[in-house]
Amino acid sequence: MVSRITPPVSSPDWLFEWAVLRLPPNFCPRVREETRGEDRTGQGRTRETAAEQKFESRKSKTKPNGKKPPAEEKKHYLEPEYTKVRVVDFDLKDLVVLPREIDLNEWLASNTTTFFNLINLQYSTISEFCTGDACQAMAAYNTIYYWYDEKGKKCKCTAPQYVDFVMSLVQKLVTDEEIFPTKYGKEFPNSFESLVKKICRYLFHVLAHIYWVHFKETVALDLHGHLNTLYAHFIVFVREFNLVDPKEMCIMDDLSEVLCTPLPSSPQQNHLTER
């Protein structure tokens, strides 16, 4: 039952709401409308298996063509002046460890829903820059992510289309009482963990794209501290419960190593610029 989850007593409540409490005062993201073009009949909500099989996303790495590969693009998000900017100086692992009094599925459901909302919010801040012309493929490093429709047909879509597919599907899953129950006594489906893994894989794709393609815009908006903290929190969570294959996340291993290491203690507890 998702709604019963509460933060562990040992952790400050504000740490669970950092993305909301520390947003700049002048920040007002555009609300993304949920699209349900893939299922207007509502039949996809009958059981979790139908929703699980509705769409499948796979990745396709660029194939060698015999030509000398171009010089690797500089990863601006790895520069110390950016990686040191976080919303909180706190070991995020303390936030993801399963509390003794909480059921595993409830914990996964609560955190997965939270990460979906936060990553959707983070993407909305740069969505005006992520257009079909600017991002003609859902790319991150040397990887292009393709979307597979309900018939198994591979679709090479633009990045905004891919993200829209992801957010629409995840929105449908997390609001389905048969999959993410919120009523007391309602059981989670047997396929719940596999669905959570699929959701987390999709959300990782979105984060990777933001870093690889839209990090400069994020810095210009002074929101890289929020992105860094969100990414680190998400990676620590999926690692704790083995929700995403390490091979899937290897393209961001260098960033994960930096951001998932707690910052050294200092008198200044928050490196984010106050406004």
Q: How confident is the model at residue 28 (pLDDT cuts 50, 70, 90)?
A: very low
**135 in a known ligand binding site:** yes
Q: Do residues 131 and 213 lie in contact, with contact meaning Cβ atoms separated by under 8 Å?
A: no
Q: Do residues 104 and 2 lie in contact, with contact meaning Cβ atoms separated by under 8 Å?
A: no
Kindly report the average pLDDT of the chain as a whole number.
77
* Per-residue model confidence as pLDDT tens digits over 10-24: 334 434 444 443 344
Residue 153 has pLDDT above 50, yes or no: yes
Q: How confident is the model at residue 66 (pLDDT cuts 50, 70, 90)?
A: very low
Q: What is the mean pLDDT of residues 78-89?
A: 80
CATH code of the domain containing 247: 1.20.140.30
Domain assignment of residue 206, yes or no: yes
State how far the Cα of 27 lies from the Cα of 106, in Å rounded to an integer: 32
Domain assignment of residue 7, yes or no: no
In which residue are the tokens 């957010």 written?
Answer: 167
**260 in a known ligand binding site:** no
What does the pLDDT read at residue 261?
Answer: 79
What does the pLDDT read at residue 263?
Answer: 61
Domain assignment of residue 251, yes or no: yes
User: What is the β-pairing status of strands 138-140 and 56-61?
Assistant: unpaired
What does the pLDDT read at residue 70?
Answer: 42
Instruction: Look at residues 191, 5, 228 and name the one whose alpha carbon lies nearest to residue 98.
Output: 5
More confident residue, 185 or 250: 250
* Per-residue model confidence as pLDDT tens digits over 43-59: 333 334 444 444 445 54
Q: How confident is the model at residue 141 (pLDDT cuts 50, 70, 90)?
A: confident
Longest dimension (CA), the chain: 60
Domain assignment of residue 101, yes or no: yes
State how far the Cα of 240 lies from the Cα of 227, in Å rounded to an integer: 20
DSSP assigned state of 51:
H
Please give the tally of structural domains in the chain. 1
In which residue are the tokens 């893939």 written?
Answer: 38
For 36-57, give one letter per residue: b (16+ CB within 10 A) or e. Answer: eeebeeeebbeebeebbeebeb
Residue 155, token pair as written in the block: 């679709």
What does the pLDDT read at residue 81?
Answer: 80
Residue 123: domain span: 46-62+85-259
* Per-residue model confidence as pLDDT tens digits over 88-136: 777 888 899 999 999 999 999 999 999 999 999 999 999 999 999 999 9
- pTM comes to 0.73
Domain assignment of residue 11, yes or no: no
**209 in a known ligand binding site:** yes
Domain assignment of residue 144, yes or no: yes
Domain assignment of residue 79, yes or no: no
80-94, 96-110, 202-216: range with lowest mean pLDDT: 80-94
Q: Do residues 109 and 214 lie in contact, with contact meaning Cβ atoms separated by under 8 Å?
A: no
Q: How confident is the model at residue 78 (pLDDT cuts 50, 70, 90)?
A: confident
Q: How confident is the model at residue 63 (pLDDT cuts 50, 70, 90)?
A: very low
- Helices and strands (H and E) in the chain: how many: 10, 4
Domain assignment of residue 28, yes or no: no
Residue 193 has pLDDT above 60, yes or no: yes
